[in-house]
A and B are shown apart, each in its own frame.
Chain A
Amino acid sequence: MRREVPIAITFLVGMFMIVDFFVPHAYVSASAEELKQWGTIIIAASILLGIGNLLRVHSKKIARKEEGWGYSIVLLAIMAVMLWFGLWPGETLGPNEMVGTVEEGSYFNWMFLNMQVPLQATMFSLLAFFIASAAYRAFRLRSAEASLLLIAAIIVMLGRVPLGQALTQNLPEKAQLPWLTEVIMEYPNMAAFRGILMGAALGVMAMGLRIILGIERSYLGGEK
């Protein structure tokens, strides 16, 4: 019973969503929309599970003084501060200073925009350096494929910048780097891209069908 009930629910809801795709009737669409909203609400409410997990894992770390336990203190302290400002009953302190809301101008919003967003941007900007080191390894001439990748990458990278255009502007159009770049991106690259995408789409359908029919059940924890 522990496994059968979730599988039965999955089957019914899954089939209903497939029916919704083909049946435009307002009653079907409205019910499907309702189901999707339930899903959204359940997912949103689950954040409490996450907070519980964070508290449990990091409290233990601090209690046992495990390696890096100082970071756990910082994490829990910042979480407490954000929760305090986000949940404290609203009180206007000034024209644009609101406590207890997440609106523009609130302390919570100010901390999010001026602390979390710059930190995330910093992490994102690290990608430039990671791309450089990964590209260095990928483009080393170790095999025919790597050589092909290197040649294609050089053409595409040069073709996308003014320098590449300037280098070949006196050549016939079909020998110019921007034109070659477009050819590489539009034909071999797009063909491979679409091939993977179509395979993945069929994979999604097969996986979905396996789940709906209860053939695939390991995501519920084991197969027995």
Chain B
Amino acid sequence: MKLPLLLVLLLLAGAAGAQETVGTPVDTTAAVVDTIPPAPVSDVTARDHISNNDGGDRIEVHWALSPDDGGEETGDVTGYLVMRSTEPDAPADTAGVAGAGETMYLDRDAVPGQTYYYHVAATDGVNLSEFVTSPSVRGVRSFFQPSRAAVLVLTLLFFGLVITFTNLAQRGTDLFVRRIPGLNAIEEAVGRATEMGRPVLYVPGIGEIDNIMTIASLSILSHVARITARYETPLIVPTARAVVMSAAEEVVKEAYAQEGQIDRYNPDNIRYLSDAQFAFAGAVNGIMLREKPSANLYLGAFWAESLLLAETGFEAGAIQVAGTAMVSQLPFFVTACDYTLLGEELYAASAYLSKEPKLLGSLKGSDYMKVISIALMLSGLILRIAGYEAFSNWFRTG
């Protein structure tokens, strides 16, 4: 009997020990009830929240933390109660709650045009502080996004420069444009293909038609097609998007017509291959190895397939000119191609090739905007170092 009794006592002792280490010690005195509310918040403000698709139904409420809010540390405050009324003293409805340490609540349920007053109180989970009321506020459907004011000013400045230089160019002002070796090489590459009796391969990237790089590429394709039409050299255009194929057909056909070579236009050379990135790359590589073009032009939006194409073209012995604004793909093209158009050169190519004054004017506008951008960046940097942050903050969009 002694052994079982000892075991029972040991188990009870263990259980009691566990109770002491795991559980909360039992308070035998009467529980102390917290009846002291936290200190109230201060500086309660409310303003119309402007966002995209602004329906005037969102209002931001801001306040300064209660002195009893520990913020990151543990404090007495467990959260904030935000109430809303249409009159300063009218009964209020609950708008929502915010956690401890938070100084903003976004009311997503306001009636557009209705005047509101917001009342904010701190809570410790049991008691509420006094409510502090904001000035009146109304949610309206906004017609301007103030955070984008800097972008608007710079955009208007840029557009002004482009239009000014375009007009100057139209009046006959001689505009100097630096030489771009990659673009000069295009005609040379087509000439080489003509001599060898082999086709020219033009890949407009795998971007959709709404990608500006694809549009730029189609503009260059127009010039390339005119050269191939003039030299009577076959031009193969594989595409990864059906709309791009359709646009490329139109561009090439028109270029051949302008050169008086419409009978040489072969619609079967403008090919839709596949929307799938690597299926497209595989198919283009197949064209390179089977039809052996002697000039490969890669101009447009490219992703990981860039090196698959360029390296296969190199192995096939073709002269290669590439151009993209996809910065991550530029090293691959620079390594594997004879000439590469870097970033903006792709967008400048059409103007450069056509030598049309209006287009050259827009290039000049871009160059002057670049100078202004550099000057603004340097000014912002110097002012920030000197402790003036207002200037650089004005350019923030978020």
Query: Residues of A at under 8 Å CB distance from B?
Result: 18, 21-27, 29-30, 33, 39, 42-43, 46-50, 53-54, 56-57, 60, 67-68, 71, 116, 119-120, 123-124, 126-127, 130-131, 133-135, 137-138, 193, 196-200, 202-211, 213, 215-216, 218-224
With the chains together, A34 CA to B50 CA distance in Å?
21
Q: Is A123 touching B282 in the complex (CB atoms < 8 A)? A: yes
Cβ–Cβ contact B370 & A219, under 8 A: no
Decide if B250 touches A54 in the complex (CB within 8 Å): no
A116: chain B residues within 8 A (beta carbon):
276, 279
B344 touches A200 (CB 8 A): yes
Contact status A120-B277, CB under 8 Å: yes
- Does chain A have a CB within 8 A of B55? yes
Contacts of A47 in B (CB 8 A): 242, 275
Who on chain B is nearest to A206 by CB? Answer: B366
A-B contact count (CB 8 A): 215
B 324-339 binary contact with A (CB < 8 Å = 1; else 0): 0101001010111000
Asked if A200 meets B327 with Cβ closer than 8 Å, knowing A25-B54, A209-B162, the reply is yes
What chain A residues lie within 8 Å of B282 (beta carbons)? Answer: 119, 123
**With A23-B144, A215-B359, A219-B218 already in contact, 12 other A-B pairs whose C-beta atoms are closer than 8 Å:** A22-B151, A24-B51, A24-B145, A39-B210, A133-B311, A134-B336, A137-B336, A199-B344, A206-B365, A209-B159, A211-B215, A221-B222
**A131→B278 CA distance, assembly (Å):** 16
B208 touches A43 (CB 8 A): yes
Partner of B290, one of A68, A135, A197, A203: A68
Q: What residue in chain A is nearest B257 (Cβ atoms)?
A: A222
Q: Are B253 and A221 in contact (CB under 8 A)?
A: yes
Structural contact, B53 and A30, CB atoms closer than 8 A:
yes
User: Which of A29, A138, A202 counts the most B-chain CB atoms under 10 A from its CB?
Assistant: A202
Interface residues of B, CB < 8 Å — how many? 91
* Complex contact A127–B54 (CB within 8 A): no
Which parts of B312-353 form the interface with A (CB within 8 Å)?
312, 325, 327, 330, 332, 334-336, 342-348, 350-351
Determine the main DSSP class of B at the interface with A.
Answer: helix
Alpha-carbon gap, A42 to B270, bound state (A): 20
Which of B54, B253, B363 has its CB near the most chain A CB atoms (within 10 A)?
A: B54
Given contacts A206-B162, A207-B215, A221-B255, contact A216 B350 (CB under 8 A): yes
Q: Which of B242-261 contact A (CB under 8 A)?
A: 242-243, 245-247, 250-255, 257-258
- Chain B residues 35 to 80 lying within 8 A of chain A, measured CB to CB, are 50-56
Does B304 lie at the interface of the complex (its beta carbon under 8 Å from any beta carbon of A)?
A: yes
Which A residues are in CB contact (< 8 Å) with B241? 43, 46, 50
Interface membership of B212, Cβ < 8 A:
yes
**Nearest-Cβ distance from residue B281 to partner chain A, whole angstroms:** 6
